[in-house]
Chain A
Amino acid sequence: MQRVKNVDYDEDELYDDDEEYGADPEESYSQEDRDNFAALIPVVRAELEEAGSRASNKEIQNALWNYYWDVGKSDAEASAAAADGEKQEKPKSKFDQAAERSARDIADDFEDAASMLLSMAWFRDVPWILPPGRQDYLVPATPISRPRLLGGSSKLAKLAEERRKKAAAASAEGSVANGALSSLDRLTKPKDFKENEAPSAVAEPRKYPVRKKREPTPPPAEESPPPPPAEPEQEKPDLRASPTAFARTLSASPNQDILPAATTLSELLGSGQSEDPFQGPSPDDTLISHLYNTGPTKPKQTANGLTKKTEALKLDSAPPQPKLRSKGLDVPKLWAEEKAKRKPSAAFVVVGHVDHGKSTLMGRLLLDVGAVSQRDIDKYQRQASELGKASFALAWVMDTSTEERERGVTFDFAQHHFSTPKADFTILDAPGHRDFVPNMIGGASMADMAVLVVDANQLDSGMKGQTREHILLAKAVGLKKVVVAVNKLDAARPAWSQQLFESVQIDIRKLLAESGFADEDIKFVPCSGLSGANVVNQPKASSPAAWVPKAHFTLLQTLERSIPPTKPTTQETIKQPLRMQIIDVFRGSVTNPLSVAGRISSGNVQNGDVVTTQPSGEKAAIKGLEVSDEPREFAVAGQICTLHLSEIEAQHLRSGDVLCSSQHPVRVARGFTALIELLDSLLPQPVDVHLGRLHAPGTISQLIETVDGRGEQLKRRPRLLKAGQRARVRISFEEGVPLAVGEKIVVRSAGVTAAYGTVE
């Protein structure tokens, strides 16, 4: 009961702010008002009589007041009130009594619905977007348009549902019902009065000019039929105090006009009720303005403002969560403007056979450019010696997980940023072990170029193993530039043998050329990751590697020179719809409980954008954005970024999913045709399909045809596809996979890369 009182009290306070409208007709009429009444009542009366209904002076007065001297509207209202009054004035036949009771029931229904709404609002939006006062308003309109109570499991909800239905059925007699409501409200006035005693006592000394609440005069005798039997009250707990006199005046009288207005409002609020509640006009203001927006009053402007806002909301297809506002940056333009300031940047994937020293070389690179401190390396050195793997210390920069460190093998690709005065780099250190080829594909799909690490002393193992496979995969994901780091030359016999380097160079060049890399895109660097010679610093002139600086750049210099000039960050790709494959879903920090990382393949993204994830189809808002571990306002195609998401559950996100623009979501397909290059023979059979980070079980369901280099058909429905052929096949999935035409796929079977190609 205490709570109810408080609510009522609040209501009081809110309304007190609007004395202008809160003035009670009977007490507060100024002289001017009275004059107006005197002038207009006869007019209205005449019109009413013409329409064949009679109304008391008081009713007309009320109506006029409520409609702010609008004669036409007042007519309707007054006639409704009169009809209501007439009913009550008549001697009560049994029939009438029944009718009255039913009318009362309906009124109760509305009241019940209101209490429902109250509890609904209670749970729905904790910041009080719908203050209690407003619910009184929405009562007449909302029982139909409002969504049902969530869950709806409680008995009360069921009861309310029934009532609502009943009320809807009776809505034909809407005006009668509302009339009944108003009269009923009047009936309960004495009780109401008692309930509000305390607050009004407090309010008195505040010198509010008028306290409509505290209307001391009992209602006119003719309008108070014998007090109604109290059964409805007994039936349900009254969650809410009975309406105040003011609320009654507002809610009950101008019924016809509130209906549409209240409905639009509720729709508006229902679709996007997340604006800062204190930003616009206060809820009461907007409501009241809505109520009066038909009359020629000042609040009309506010109402129009609101309508405009509604339209605006509708126009941009009502983003579900405008809590985060996109700044609406013109990203392509900004990007173009910043171009001059920017250093060239590139992400490179480090590939090669297992144990050829990829991670160690990268650890060395990071140490020597200063991205990792010597202190950290010393720490790793100590820890690694404890495990008896002292030589792995540098690799630990990349291999951060315990399991990787224990086994001395990279499992998943690691990501690291560093900057030189000339360029920004992102390292993607891929695993070399054959079991982790799927992870390597994921890493390679994010890169702009490749660094192939080859152990000069163990060329053969790699040629049969992952050196060859990785080269093919790098080609398959569309990489063009390769820097070949001929590693471990210090361990060669003799150390830094130039002859060895040359022979390795010939073999690898041949292999790369076979795989389709152009000669000018291949660069060779002799180096040693463990000693650090020719990685960042040139070897000393006195060392056996003195020949190196004469003919070769260091690894870092070579990298800086190999940055692909035509990185796909052109204006066109930026303007395309957003596509980003999710590489990782993780908990960024306490403030960013859900973050995803990946490389934007097309389009751009900025803080506050609402994006769609496929295949789940869920929408998410972007709360924050990081590129190279630094917060940014936006990111564009080609950048590897971390997005902090909000308003989505982690279960809707998996690595391999695609983030895309909500307007142009990527399609989810259960099957597709692909043009593939065969590396191994294939039949219609189950295969693993890799699409960047996505790794899906699929089936080659049909071999459509083999084609020649120009795409001409060679044989229809081949029985078997052999290595070296080009073919068109149909691949199907058990579950939908987000796909776009032209995407690169890799088909693997039994742990071997069998084919690669593009989606058609």
Chain B
Amino acid sequence: MRLIKQNIERKTGEGSAVLLPEEPEDMWHAYNLIRSNDLLRASAIRKVINESGSGSRSNERVHTTLTIRVTKLDFDPQASQLHVSGRVAEENKHVKLGSYHTLDLELQRNFTLEKSEGWDSVALDTLKEAVNQEAKAQLWAVIMKEGLANICLVTDHQTILRQKIEYNLPRKRAGSTDHEKQMQKFFQTTFDSLLRQLDLANPKPLLIASPAYTATQFQSFIKAQAASGANKQLNNLLPKITVAQSASGHLHSLNEVLSSPAVTAKLSDTKFARETQLVDNFFTLIRKEDNRAWYGPRESEKAVEQGAVGKGGGVLLISNGLFRSQEIKVRNRWVKLVDEVKEQGGEVRVLSSMHESGRRLESLGGVAVICTWPIEDLDEGEVAEEEMHEDGSVNENGDWDENGDGHGVEGRVDHEEDIDFL
């Protein structure tokens, strides 16, 4: 994303920014920047109905620039499209004030964003990150096991599952080569789907991970394909393949793969590898029952209140899903928490909810802290408190996800599903 123009005032945070999205991932940034009640100005196509004096009507599609006050956002991670609905805030000759419009933000077209509550620290950080033009790491990953392959694209801020291939493999049995034949077919299907996704002219690193030998077998399959010479460009891809071990073929195994030393050595300092390691560290700490590690909104807030997340190792891990809350109050609560930690000198890590590491964090309630000193019994008295909250903030599943919005839209089903027998 490119910052074309900005007049944000340092102190109050008021003002607007003109931004130019350049690549699909910028839509993800835009999704994290735009909040409801903000003013968004972008070009739009609108069907205008003209009624003449005699009562006859004519339709016309007009290109115009509209300013809307945002009410709803809809992000499609597969297609990297962002649809912003809202009410028109500035009248022009085609559109009346207050009528509804849904803007589809487009690549290479400017949009102007003005924050209703002013640009807070988190919004500014997101903006900085979005306009960071440093080379962005990207990698393709195939997490597979026999009969299952997940092809996904891992970028700095998102893990996008592009294709899931499920294949029914018959089990081995004496006197039958069905298993081998189907295995080859499975590889062929996976390989074909992968090629459809990859840009072979300029291939990105490809990570193949599986339990046992499936990944190695698949790598040799690709090599055999390249050797057959049908596709010359395939040779470009071969040196970029990394094979790794994962515990299962399911997508959440990407976590272990990205944190395994063999892979981190190759991917070095990419954002997603860092994030994965952070969450791993946290999990190790909490497993050790070190009282420095706490998770959950209330516990984290209490820890911050007590000043435990400060200089010398205090870390706040927070999922950016929390900032996407449609309620300003809820968002402000988290922004305040972040600001407080920064004030105390602690480290704040905003994790992308679109990465597996972010998902792990979200299953913990979206926020976790590593304190500088052990705190005992942060969760004490909580039971009573919970009883009070039971009606509202803690939803009936007892999940801590108090602002459960902003999850389901990312193409993943919410976890907080009650037992529902289909």
A: residues with CB less than 8 A from B are 400-404, 407, 411-412, 414-415, 433, 435-436, 438, 583-587, 597, 615, 650-651, 653-655, 667-673, 681, 683-686, 688, 695, 697, 699-702, 704, 716-717, 719-720, 722, 730, 732, 734, 736, 748-752
Binds A, one of B21-29, B199-207, B250-258, B342-350: B250-258
A736's contact among B213, B286, B422, by CB below 8 Å, is which?
A: B422
- A292 CB to closest chain B CB (Å) equals 49
- Add 8 more A-B contacts to A403-B213, A615-B422, A685-B360 (CB < 8 A): A400-B175, A650-B168, A673-B419, A686-B360, A701-B363, A717-B383, A719-B295, A748-B248
6 sample A-B contacts, Cβ–Cβ < 8 Å, listed by A number: A400-B175, A585-B170, A669-B419, A701-B399, A702-B398, A704-B398
Q: When A401-B179, A411-B212 are in contact, do A670 and B172 touch as well, CB less than 8 Å? A: no
Chain B hits for A749, CB < 8 A: 247
SS class of chain B's interface: helix, strand, loop or mixed?
loop
B168's contact among A653, A685, A722, by CB below 8 Å, is which?
A: A653
B252's contact among A651, A671, A686, by CB below 8 Å, is which?
A: A686
Q: When A400-B172, A587-B170, A720-B289 are in contact, do A671 and B211 touch as well, CB less than 8 Å? A: no
Q: Are B413 and A734 in contact (CB under 8 A)?
A: yes
* Chain A residue with Cβ nearest B250: A697
CA distance A17 to B376 in the complex (A): 97
Chain B hits for A686, CB < 8 A: 252, 255, 356, 359-360, 363
A667's contact among B217, B250, B421, by CB below 8 Å, is which?
A: B421
CA distance A683 to B400 in the complex (A): 14
Q: When A585-B168, A585-B170, A683-B283 are in contact, do A697 and B398 touch as well, CB less than 8 Å? A: no
CA distance A586 to B344 in the complex (A): 63
- B388 CB to closest chain A CB (Å) equals 14
Q: Which 5 A-B pairs have the closest CB atoms?
A: A751-B247, A586-B170, A697-B250, A435-B212, A686-B252
Q: Are A401 and B180 in contact (CB under 8 A)?
A: yes
Chain A hits for B168, CB < 8 A: 585, 650-651, 653-655
* Chain A residue with Cβ nearest B356: A686
Chain B hits for A683, CB < 8 A: 283, 286, 295, 363-364
Chain B hits for A722, CB < 8 A: 289
- Among B217, B379, B398, B415, chain A packs the most CB atoms within 10 A around the CB of B415
Q: Are A401 and B252 in contact (CB under 8 A)?
A: no
Q: Are A400 and B364 in contact (CB under 8 A)?
A: no
B287's contact among A407, A411, A681, A704, by CB below 8 Å, is which?
A: A681
Chain A hits for B289, CB < 8 A: 720, 722
Chain B hits for A701, CB < 8 A: 363, 397, 399, 415-417
B174 interface contact, C-beta 8 A: yes
Contact with A along B171-207 (1 / 0, CB 8 A): 1111110111000000000000000000000000000
B422's contact among A597, A670, A700, A748, by CB below 8 Å, is which?
A: A670
- Among B172, B174, B211, B212, chain A packs the most CB atoms within 10 A around the CB of B172
CA distance A653 to B175 in the complex (A): 23
Q: Are A668 and B422 in contact (CB under 8 A)?
A: yes
- B318 CB to closest chain A CB (Å) equals 16
CA distance A651 to B166 in the complex (A): 10
A717's contact among B179, B286, B360, B386, by CB below 8 Å, is which?
A: B386
Q: Are A716 and B170 in contact (CB under 8 A)?
A: no
- B367 CB to closest chain A CB (Å) equals 13
Q: When A435-B211, A684-B363, A686-B252 are in contact, do A699 and B415 touch as well, CB less than 8 Å? A: yes
Q: When A671-B419, A685-B360, A734-B413 are in contact, do A751 and B211 touch as well, CB less than 8 Å? A: yes
* Chain A residue with Cβ nearest B382: A717
- A698 CB to closest chain B CB (Å) equals 9
Q: Are B399 and A702 in contact (CB under 8 A)?
A: yes
CA distance A688 to B251 in the complex (A): 10
Chain B hits for A412, CB < 8 A: 171-172
CA distance A597 to B250 in the complex (A): 24
* Chain A residue with Cβ nearest B286: A720
